[in-house]
Amino acid sequence: MRETFGLMTGLAPNDTEWDQAARGLAHAGLALRQTALHAPAAYMASLGASADLARALNVHFSTDAAHMAQALAAFNGLVPEPRQLSPEAALTATQHDLSAAVDQAGHQERLAAACMEDQATLQSECEPGARALWEAVPNRALGIAMEPAEFVCEIRQRL
């Protein structure tokens, strides 16, 4: 994904910028999810959402598998202690909420390591309305489409 992003935009993000791009829009990212980072959240949310149906098909189905423990340990290793979950809480959470917790933890780490100017920029990108540009569907007829060079400039600024 990183290589394709570079080919499409002409940008070569460093590791910090790429981590930023992988965060959700609410955390000043571009929502280019890193599957390895969000896999534990996806697994636990899927397991929790399908558990009742799985039990209806197989009365011996259990969510107490080693895979669940691995996913939970991986997730809890990504978020600060107050955001860590019990197995029960993880199985009732949505992937959106779990991924948001991962994004929030990464965002806080980036803020802590950033200079004051970068902190201000990151925080401004998280303000209400700041992601409207990224959520809008381009439409030339309505005058809400950018030229590719303008779009790349916006990406560069966001990262």
DSSP secondary-structure letter at 138? P
What pLDDT, in 10s, does the model give residues 12-40?
999 999 999 999 999 999 999 999 999 99
Confidence of residue 86 (pLDDT cuts 50, 70, 90): very high
- Closest residue by Cα to residue 30 from 140, 104, 135, 149: 135
Percent with pLDDT over 70 in the chain: 100
